[in-house]
Amino acid sequence: MRRREFLLTCAALGMVPSATARAGSHELRRDLAEGGRVASAQTKPVPNAAPANAWPQFRGSYALTGISSTTISPAPKLAWAWEGGEAFDSSAAIVDDVVYVGTATGELIAVGLTDGKLRWRYKAGEAIGESSPAVANGRVFIGDLIGVVHAVNAANGKPLWTFTTQTEIKSSPVVVGNLLLMGSYDGNLYGLDVATGRQLWAYKTENYVHGTPCVVNGVAHFAGCDEVFHAVDVTTGRARYATSATAYTGASVVIVNNVAYFGTFDNQVLALDLQSRKVLWRYEHPDRKFPFYSSAGVIDGTVVLGGRDRMLHALDAKTGKARWTYMTRARIDSSPAIAGGCVYAGSNDGRLYAVDLTSGKVVWQHDEGAALSASPALASGRIVIGSTEGRLLCFA
C-alpha cells in the first residue's frame, strides 16, 4: 500500500496488546548492560543526535530526534544525482561515507557519499516502500513490501539472512545491541537476533505497526493504527504499558525528557507525558484540518514537523503553541532533519527546503520538480534525499 491507502485502510480496532517472549533474552540483557554500538561511527549507545559523519538509520538515531551534529553549507550545491529509475519512498542511511537506500524496484543500493558512484545493489523483494535502512556492525537491514526483513553485508551487498513476516513492512529497522527491532503490517513488533535473524520475541498489537520504534532506556515506544501508544521492554518483548494514543498514527514518535511528541490522523500533534500517561497538550491548526504523517524532530524546546496541510509547523515543546508555520505548495510527508539551526525537509511540491529554526524563514531551497516525500539524511556536511521520480540527490 501507498500512503493514501494506508489512511483508508486503518481502522480503530480493539486495544488488547500482548507479547510472546522467545529464547535469547538473557543474551540481549547482557549486551545492553555492556552497551552495544548502533554504528561504527557512533560513540554513545543512545545519542540524542546523530554524529557529524553518519546517519545510521531513519531519523538519525534510535532516539528519533532527527538531529545531526554535522555542519551544512548555508547555500549547498548539488554534488551529484544518481538515477534510480523508480521512486524513492525509502530514506537514506549514511555510514563510512556510503549511502544506503531502498528503491521501489525492490533493490537496496549502496552509493558513494562523495562521488555518487554505485558500490553495489542487492535485490530484496518485489518493492521497498518507506522502510529505511539501518546500518550497524558491518550489516545493513531493511524491510520490503512482501514482508521480508533482509540483512546484507555492508561492504559488498551479499545476503546474510532473511526473516519473513506475514505481510508488508513499512516500518524502519532499529538496532539496539544484538537486537533488531522491526514492525510489520501483520500487527507485530519483532525482536530479532542481529547476527542470525532468529526471532527472540514478538509483541502483538491489534493493527499495523507502521511507525519506527523510538528506543529510550531499553524501552521501545510506538503508536499505531490501533490507536494505542505502546511501550515494550526490548529485552523481554513484554509490554511495560499501553495507553491511548487518541487516534491512529502513521508517524514515529520522539521522546525528550520523558515526553512523547507525535502527530496523528486526527489532525493533531500531541505531547504525552510518559509518567502520568496524560496528554499535556494538543496542537491543531485553527484553520487547516489535515493529518500529520511526518515524524517530528525536537531540539532546544522546539518540536518541528510537516503536515498534509502543506505546512511546516514549529511548536513550543512545553505549551504546544505555534512558534511559526511555513506554507509550501503541497503536503509534507517528509520528516524534517535538523542541523546548525536549520530545519531541512522535502515537500510534495518538489522542493527541498532549509528553514531557519528560530525565525521560520526559508534560507535555501532546491526545486527538483518531483515530489520529495522521503526524509533527508545529514552527514559529513551533506544532505541526501530521494525523489518520487527516481533521483537520489546529494547536496554539499
Domain boundaries, the chain: 3-395
Please choose, from the candidates 356, 355, 358, 320, the residue with its C-alpha nearest in 3D space to the C-alpha of residue 334: 355
Beta strands in 275-317 (DSSP E): 279-283, 297-299, 302-306, 311-316
Cβ-based neighbours of 248, under 8 Å, separated by 6 or more: 10, 11, 12, 207, 224, 225, 226, 227, 264, 265, 266
Instruction: Specify the pLDDT at position 33.
Output: 34
Q: 3-class SS at 4?
A: helix
Give me the pLDDT at residue 85, please: 86
pLDDT of amino acid 165: 98
pLDDT of residue 15: 34
What is the rounded distance in angstroms from the CA atom of residue 355 to the CA atom of residue 157? 36
Per-residue pLDDT in tens (0 to 9) along the chain, 396 residues: 343 333 333 433 333 333 434 334 333 433 343 333 333 333 333 348 999 999 999 999 999 999 999 999 999 999 999 999 889 999 999 999 999 999 999 999 999 999 999 999 999 988 999 999 999 999 999 999 999 999 999 999 999 999 999 999 999 999 999 999 999 999 999 999 999 999 999 999 999 999 999 999 999 999 988 999 999 999 999 999 999 999 989 999 999 999 999 999 999 999 999 999 999 999 999 999 999 999 999 999 999 999 999 999 999 999 999 999 999 999 999 999 999 999 999 999 999 999 999 999 999 999 999 999 999 999 999 999 999 999 999 999
DSSP 7: H
Please state the separation of Cα 42 from the chain's center in Å: 18
User: What are the grid coordinates assigned to 365, written together?
Assistant: 531551497
Other Cβ atoms less than 10 A from the Cβ of 262: the count is: 29
Taken as a whole, the chain contains a residue count of: 396
Neighbours of 357 (CB within 10 A): 20
212 is written with which cell numbers?
Answer: 519506527
Distances in Å between the alpha carbon of 62 and those of 28, 94, 180, 181, 255? 17, 14, 11, 10, 10
* C-beta separation of 338 from 67 below 8 A: yes
pLDDT value of residue 48: 81
- Rounded Cα–Cα distance for residues 204 and 296 (Å): 25
Q: Which residues of 61-76 are buried (b: 16+ CB within 10 A; e: fewer)?
A: bbbbbbbbbbebeeeb
Pairing of strands 228-233, 219-223: antiparallel
Is residue 265 classed as helix, strand or coil in its secondary structure?
coil
Q: Does domain 3-395 have CATH number 2.130.10.10?
A: yes
Q: What is the grid cell recorded at 185? A: 503490517
The answer to whether the beta carbons of residues 305 and 295 sit under 8 Å apart is: yes
User: Which three three-digit cell numbers place residue 337?
Assistant: 532533519
**CA separation, residue 112 to residues 78, 180, 262, 342 (Å):** 15, 25, 33, 25
Contact 394, 384 (CB under 8 A): yes
